[in-house]
Every structure is written in structure tokens, then in C-alpha cells.
Amino acid sequence: MTEAPGTPLLDVKDLHVEFATRDGTVRAVNGVSYAVDAGQTLAVLGESGSGKSVTAQAVMGILDIPPGRITGGRILFRGRDLLRASREERRAIRGEQMAMIFQDALSSLNPVHSVGIQLAEMFRVHRGMSRKDGKAKAVELMDRVRIPAARERVNDYPHQFSGGMRQRIMIAMALALEPALIIADEPTTALDVTVQAQVMDLLSELRREYRMGLILITHDLGVVADVADRIAVMYAGRIVEHAPVRDLYRSPAHPYTKGLLESVPRLDRKGKELYAIKGLPPNLLHVPPGCPFHPRCPLARDICVTDPPPLYEGMGEGRSSACHFWKETLGER
């Protein structure tokens, strides 16, 4: 199945997700829209609790329902609305056409089976292969994700691999059925910096080779500069800025993005103090009125306290910013 020309691979429109909790309703996702094309990488960035994972879980169909509830919006995959699909259809799409990579490979892999068995099982269940052929495919895949001595290691258990190697096995599992879309949720957060870069490069290379769409969720701006095409910045369950990666780095159009960028170390500013955005992200049970960023924003004025900013366009092609004062914010860094 491929999409009609002009139809994005994945098109999330005005998605709303809530959680019923003892203390009240947590509005975790408030009107998020983003799209990814085949062969493209969208980075989703934002502090902890901004709704990055919940949005991804809704797309994958693995949201905790209840307490979670999708209260509005559409999730179009190759033009088909997943929120209207049957449970069986969703399961089939999830297995074959989209896959997810999580931060913690150790808890995502089964500790009592060798990695070879786990990979082979994918081919047995979904492709009707024999155990032996599945195992051969497993070795092939382990080679593809550059696990040294794959043939010798195929019968090893997850705990016998280093963190970086385990993450490669997770990538191999996700790639096994050659899905059209991969969502990687903080895939390198638990790894050392050098290993992070290697895993990220691998993911990026495979995405190109397989022409997959990739959604890369991270709170690390340093990671995305080289691998993403577009960035969506989330705050309090909303997208506050959306832009091609180069434009966003060169001239952010939202004070929150600007703050995030100024808190990343830069070689050309060595020795200068790093900026930190003051305060904390809001409790989603009590989101501030107007612009939810106003208590932390150095540019906030009266209107920001009363009027929620819409997503303004006009700062460049494919760009938008939810800030009343995007024009003042925009500018070379």
C-alpha cells in the first residue's frame, strides 16, 4: 500500500488527548498537528511532560485507554484515518507498517530469549518463515545494524550486550518488516555521548536507505541538527514552533525555542555562560491562561496573559509559531 501523490505518509491533525486522574483531567495533548513524508525525519522536541510521547503513543495505537482518551483530531496514515480503523486493522498496521523504538532496550526486549530468537520470531509470525530461515534473517539484520560478529552473537541474551548494542538490536527489530514509518522515542538518551552519535548516524542512514519516515522524539537539540529535516517544538501539549531545521536554528520564531537553543553549548561561544529558561513547565492540571509559556517568557506582555496565541504563519515557507510577538523574536542568533 502506498499513498496517493501529495498525501503525506503520516498526517496528524488537531489531536487532543486527555487523562482522567484522581486530581482532575490532564490535558496532555492540545491540538497537535504534524506530518511526515516518506524518507523524511521530523524531530519532536520539548521538555519533559510536553506531550511528545503521548502524541506518539496515540499514533502507534498504544495509548493507555483508560485513563487516556482521544477527544479530538485525526491521525491519517497514507490517507487512512487510524482513529476510525478497527482494532485488527490497527494491529496489522502497527506490526507491518509502523514500528517504535524506545529509550530503554533492556525492558523492551525479552530477557529469557536470545536476541536471535526474538528477531527470528518476527519473520516466523509475520512472514511465515521457518525458525532456521528466520535465524538467518536475524544474522543478516544484526549485520545491517553493525553488530560485530553477528553470527557468533545471535544466540546471546539481551543482558550480554552493551547498552549501545542493545539499542542496535531494538533498531533491527523495528526494521525487520521494513515499515514505512519509525517512531524513535528518545532512542539514545540512556547512552554515552559517543555511542549516542553512532546510533543516531545509523538510524539516519537506514532511514535514507529504506526511504522510511522517521519521527525522532528528543529533548536534546544537539542531537537533531544533523539528522532532522523539520522540527516541531512542543510545550504544554501544544506545538509552539514548527520549521525546517536550518531555519529554526538560524532564526527561531518563538521565545521558548530561542531559550532552548541558547541553553545548548556552542563552540563559538566557548567560555560564555549558558542561558537557562527560568522556571518549570506547567502542571497540565493547571495550565496558565493565555500563552502557556507566559510565566517563563522574557517577552511576555499583557496580551500574553489573556489571549492564547494562534499558530501564526508568515515567517517563512513551512514555518509557524504560536507567539504574538514572533516578529520581534525572529532574527539571527
Ligand X SMILES: Nc1ncnc2c1ncn2[C@@H]1O[C@H](COP(=O)(O)OP(=O)(O)OP(=O)(O)O)[C@@H](O)[C@H]1O
User: Grid coordinates representing 331?
Assistant: 532574527
User: Grid coordinates representing 38?
Assistant: 516518506
CA distance 312 to 331: 16
**CA-wise closest residue to 280 among 269, 268, 293, 267:** 293
Is 51 one of the binding residues for ligand X (CB under 6 A)?
Answer: yes
Is 53 one of the binding residues for ligand X (CB under 6 A)?
Answer: yes
Residue number, 184 or 206, with CB nearest to Mg ion: 184
| Cα radius of gyration (the chain) | 21
Which residues, 276 to 305, sit near ligand SF4 by CB under 6 A? 291, 293-294, 297, 299-300, 304
Is 216 one of the binding residues for ligand X (CB under 6 A)?
Answer: no
**CA-wise closest residue to 231 among 207, 261, 272, 203:** 261
Residues in the chain: 333
Residue 59: burial class (beta carbons within 10 Å; 0-12, 13-18, 19+): buried
Task: Out of 24, 67, 79, 222, name the contact with ligand X by CB under 6 A.
Answer: 67
Residue number, 34 or 293, with CB nearest to ligand SF4: 293
Lay out the site mask for Mg ion across 43-82 (x = CB under 5 A, - = otherwise).
Answer: ----------x-----------------------------
Is 46 one of the binding residues for ligand X (CB under 6 A)?
Answer: yes
Lay out the site mask for ligand X across 283-302 (x = CB under 6 A, - = otherwise).
Answer: -x------------------
Task: Out of 1, 14, 24, 64, name the contact with ligand X by CB under 6 A.
Answer: 64
**CA-wise closest residue to 326 among 253, 238, 276:** 253
Sites of contact with ligand X (CB under 6 A): 19, 21, 26, 28, 46, 48-54, 64, 67-68, 219, 284
